[in-house]
Amino acid sequence: MCQYGKSGTSGRRRGYRRDRVCPSPVGNPDTRREALTKQRFVSRRAQTKCNLSIRGKLWLTALCLLIPSLQSWGVLGEDAALVAADGARINASSRLIQRESYTIHELRSPSGITVREYANASGRVFAVAWKGPFLPDMKQLLGTHFEEFQKAAQAQNRRGGHGPLVIQQPGLIVELGGHMRSFVGRAYLPDEMPAEVRSGEIR
Amino acid sequence: MKPLQFHPKGLCAVVLLALPALSVGCGGSSSKQNGTAPLASSGGNVQPIVVNAGPAGNYANGVFTSVTLCVPSSSSCQTISGILVDTGSYGLRILSSAGGGALTLSLPQQTASNGNPMGECALFVSGFTWGSVNTADVIIAGEQAGNVPVQVIDPTFAAVPSACKNTGVPENDTLQTLGANGILGVGPFAEDCGGACTQSGTSNPGMYYTCASTSCQITAEPLARQVQNPVVLFPNDNNGVIIQLPAVSGPAPSLAGSMVFGIGTQPNNTLGKAEVFPVNSSGEFNTTFKGQSYPAFVDSGSNAFFFLDSDITGIPACGSNGGFYCPTTTQKLSAITSSGNPSQTITFSIANADSLFANRGDFVFDTLGGPNAGTFDWGLPFFFGRNVFTAIESRNTPAGAGPFWAY
């Protein structure tokens, strides 16, 4: 319902507050159209309102801050604006946290899983982190990297025992820890991390 | 006896041993191990446990025991050994013969309100177990729990649901992947899921399923029907467990100890001077390392000290044994476990896992460690030389209600 605008479609990182309600008119129209098509949960009525007036925008902003949005987990390695598409399935509430060189999109599912997706200046998700009583849908969260994670997890050698998963592939790091009823983990693409970001910030 | 290298006041201890008259001034150690007094090795509430290679023959730092299961209210029973004792999970899971396990007893299946059998995808960090929910009388030592919902791990029970597969973690439904004939979850909670699984719709995380012949659907499961920590269903001694394992110094083939049921319910399970650390709703407390605080938990089912990462610890990960630390020389470390006011310094050492594993006959490793980003997992080596009390949520003890750990 209240899709936050992303720099990937707006081309304006600092303008995210204004972009919270309405996709910016700036940017590549084709990309925007594709994004909007995939954002099934963005109501056309809301879009219309966005085009109406500043007052309307303010009201809708207030509304969107109050009502949990229908958003999904982001997908590692994809555009933050595009990957929100599958959100109709997961009734997650969300918030946005702006950092110097990236944006954190934090989503919380009704079953209590918090997912944070880290998008760089061009809107691409270079890391995801999760925490909660269960695991999120890792296939959705890791996207094209899921199978690589799955294979590496199966190959993990604990000399017969059990413990946290630490996957270190050339272009993919996945770490999963915790215990039954409390899981925590993160996945990131080291080659796509903004240079100034340390892995410790992904959590 | 605790190895001296684990003890920051080791020098003091040496002095104490050599010159008892100089003992003044050696008190006040924050690293005292209050729970190390010997417990009774026998009694109706004492069950033998052993750290060894386990039924798959290759388990490093796995602590195992035996459990007797019976068809409820019958004399049709089977005793199964090689069950992993796990304070990091909740509920009893038994590997079926279809999965290569020892279970041959046919236990009645739990059925859902629609009459279909109940299935479960139980989530662990290193994998999931899939199978049916069944009912059994469970006998351990002299304790008996009736009509306990247990999981029968069975890869052939029904097709694994996509929500379970999509966790991406390995399916641990065979003897080789599980490393045990089952898991006895005796952690600080009563059920393996809790309130979330009693919900319908998107709030339900997808652990319990009703399974028709072809496919399974997520379903709500009331608390009392969820797979239970069997301890809470004992008539007595039902507020927690104590895991007691002696200290070791260096790798060993096996190590024998005891699991004692109840906390402060018998002369042999008193808290004594053990310090009590309440745990939060996630089953965790805190650990401070190099001045920084991290979430932490105590887990006999984790097979090493798993903590933080190489950047923070300065200890390199192994090449061939990925997931373990491989320092060039053994590292002596300390960290402070705390839960509000109570705190206790834990000293421990991390050795090179490649070197530890060089002797294939050893399965007990007091200095085995590995990375675990942002978290402290006090795994099985933590239990060596400590009596670790695990009190279950809402159950009363002389030190107040659980959940807590004490040591």
Q: Enter the ipTM.
A: 0.89
Strand B372-378 with B292-298, pairing: parallel
Measured between CA atoms, how close is A56 to chain B, in angstroms? 32
Does A138 reside within a domain? yes
- Nearest CB among A113, A154, A165 relative to B125 is that of A165
Q: Give rounded-to-5 percent helix, strand, coil for chain A.
A: 35, 25, 40
Give the ranges where chain A is alpha helix by DSSP (H). Answer: 7-10, 16-19, 29-38, 44-50, 54-66, 80-83, 138-142, 146-155
Does A196 reside within a domain? yes
Tokens of B158: 């029904």
Band the pLDDT of B37: cuts 50, 70, 90.
low
Q: Which of residues 342-401 of B touch A (CB under 8 A)?
A: 357, 370-375, 377, 379
Which chain A residue has the Cα nearest residue B128? A180
Which of B64, B83, B85, B126 should we substitute to test contact with A (largest number of A Cβ atoms within 10 Å)? B126
Number of Cβ atoms within 10 Å of the Cβ of B28: 8
A76: which strand partners?
none
Band the pLDDT of B67: cuts 50, 70, 90.
very high
Question: Does A148 contact B at CB distance below 8 Å?
Answer: no
At residue B43, the pLDDT reads: 86
Could you say which DSSP state residue A149 is in?
H
Band the pLDDT of B322: cuts 50, 70, 90.
confident
Enumerate the residues of chain B whose CB falls inside 8 A of the CB of residue A137. Answer: 163, 166-167
Alpha carbon B58 to its chain's center: 18
* pLDDT single digits (tens) B134-193: 999 999 999 999 999 999 999 999 999 999 999 999 999 999 999 999 999 999 999 999
Residue B111 has pLDDT above 90, yes or no: yes
- Nearest CB among A162, A184, A200 relative to B126 is that of A162
At residue A103, the pLDDT reads: 93
Enumerate the residues of chain B whose CB falls inside 8 A of the CB of residue A184. Answer: 295, 374-375
Band the pLDDT of B28: cuts 50, 70, 90.
very low
At residue A81, the pLDDT reads: 57
Which chain A residue has the Cα nearest residue B318? A157
* pLDDT single digits (tens) B176-202: 999 999 999 999 999 999 999 999 998
Question: Does residue B321 or residue B405 have the better pLDDT?
Answer: B405
- Domain span holding position A176: 7-201
Q: Is A133 helix (H, G, I), strand (E, B) or coil?
A: coil
Does A54 reside within a domain? yes
Question: Does B40 contact A at CB distance below 8 Å?
Answer: no
Indicate yes or no: CB of B284 within 8 angstroms of CB of A182. Answer: yes
Indicate yes or no: CB of B311 within 8 angstroms of CB of A200. Answer: yes
At residue A158, the pLDDT reads: 81
Tokens of A59: 């009201």
Tokens of B128: 């999931």
What is the rounded (10 degree) CA torsion for B269, B274, B279, B284? -110
Average pLDDT in chain B: 91
* pLDDT single digits (tens) B247-294: 999 999 999 999 999 999 999 999 999 999 999 999 999 999 999 999
Which of A107, A144, A158 should we substitute to test contact with B (largest number of B Cβ atoms within 10 Å)? A158
Phi, psi at residue B97, to the nearest 5°?
-65, -30
Question: Does B404 contact A at CB distance below 8 Å?
Answer: no
Q: Which of residues 24-53 of A touch B (CB under 8 A)?
A: none
Pick the CATH number of B46-233 from 1.20.1250.20, 2.40.70.10, 3.20.20.150, 2.60.120.10: 2.40.70.10
At residue B41, the pLDDT reads: 67
Q: Which of A64-73, A186-195, B45-54 has the lowest mean pLDDT?
A: A64-73
Which of B166, B189, B281, B320 should we substitute to test contact with A (largest number of A Cβ atoms within 10 Å)? B166
Pick the CATH number of B266-406 from 2.30.230, 2.40.70, 3.40.190, 1.10.150: 2.40.70
Q: Start-end ranges of CATH 2.40.70.10 in chain B?
A: 46-233
Domains of chain A: total? 1
Does A132 reside within a domain? yes
Could you say which DSSP state residue A90 is in?
S
At residue A67, the pLDDT reads: 36
- Nearest CB among B61, B282, B321 relative to A157 is that of B321
Cα(B328)–Cα(B335) distance, integer angstroms: 21
* pLDDT single digits (tens) A20-50: 333 333 334 333 333 333 333 333 333 433 3
Tokens of A19: 């972009």
Helix H or strand E segment including A97: strand A93-98
Does A2 reside within a domain? no
Residue A68 has pLDDT above 50, yes or no: no
Enumerate the residues of chain A whose CB falls inside 8 A of the CB of residue B58. Answer: 159-160
Q: Which of residues 96-115 of B touch A (CB under 8 A)?
A: none
Could you say which DSSP state residue A150 is in?
H
Per the omega criterion (within 30 degrees of 0), is the bond before B403 cis?
yes
